[in-house]
């Protein structure tokens, strides 16, 4: 039964995304409003739970909540990746320049290398398809 429900919502999501993607501004507005209202709900729920008092009041007391959530975000790795981003971290580890510091020549060279990689991937795909056809004939 759970699988059927999950399958239903998966198909519903695909249907909605397919239609909204044709109207990017509307899609953006719907998404932005939904995200803001979601976080508003989270915020107000936390306020309600804090107002309950007791251990819930203590957990949702702002300074305590900040420390708990910071620990969870640090432990899960989400703190750094969300606020800095994977691209910045990876470019720092590789000791690459920021895109704003790269010269036009360097950016063109990278674009050329990406084009070569895409071409090589297409060639590999073609060869794999030929091998697949040869195997299926046997």
Average per-residue pLDDT in the chain?
Answer: 85
Whether residue 34 has pLDDT greater than 80? yes
Q: Please tell me the number of Cα atoms within 13 Å of 76 on its side-chain side.
A: 9
Contact yes or no for 121/129 (Cβ under 8 A): no
pLDDT of residue 59: 92
Q: Which tokens go with 84?
A: 């800095």
Between 47 and 79, where is the model more confident?
47
The answer to whether 24 and 30 have CB atoms below 8 angstroms apart is no
**How confident is the model at residue 99, as a pLDDT?**
59
Is the confidence at residue 23, as pLDDT, over 90? no
pTM of the predicted model, to two decimals?
A: 0.53
Token pair in block for residue 71: 């620990």
The larger pLDDT score, comparing residue 117 to residue 137, is at 117
> What integer pLDDT is reported at residue 48 of this predicted model?
94
Question: Quick one: pLDDT at residue 136?
Answer: 85
- pLDDT per residue as tens digits for the range 84-124: 766 666 666 666 666 556 677 777 787 888 888 999 999 99
- Is residue 57 predicted with pLDDT exceeding 80? yes
Whole-number Å distance between alpha carbons of 75 and 112: 39
């Amino acid at each position: 039964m759970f699988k059927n429900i999950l399958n239903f919502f998966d198909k519903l999501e695909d249907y909605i995304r397919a239609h909204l993607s044709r109207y990017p501004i509307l899609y953006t507005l719907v998404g932005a409003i939904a995200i803001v209202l979601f976080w508003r709900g989270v915020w107000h729920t936390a306020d309600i739970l804090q107002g309950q008092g007791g251990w819930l009041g203590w957990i949702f007391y702002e300074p305590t909540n900040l420390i708990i959530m910071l620990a969870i975000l640090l432990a899960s790795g989400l703190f750094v990746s969300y606020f800095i981003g994977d691209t910045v971290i990876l470019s720092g580890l590789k000791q690459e320049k920021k895109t704003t510091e790269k010269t036009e020549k360097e950016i063109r060279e990278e674009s050329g290398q990406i084009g070569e990689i895409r071409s090589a991937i297409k060639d590999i795909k073609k060869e794999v398809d030929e091998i697949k056809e040869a195997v299926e004939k046997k």
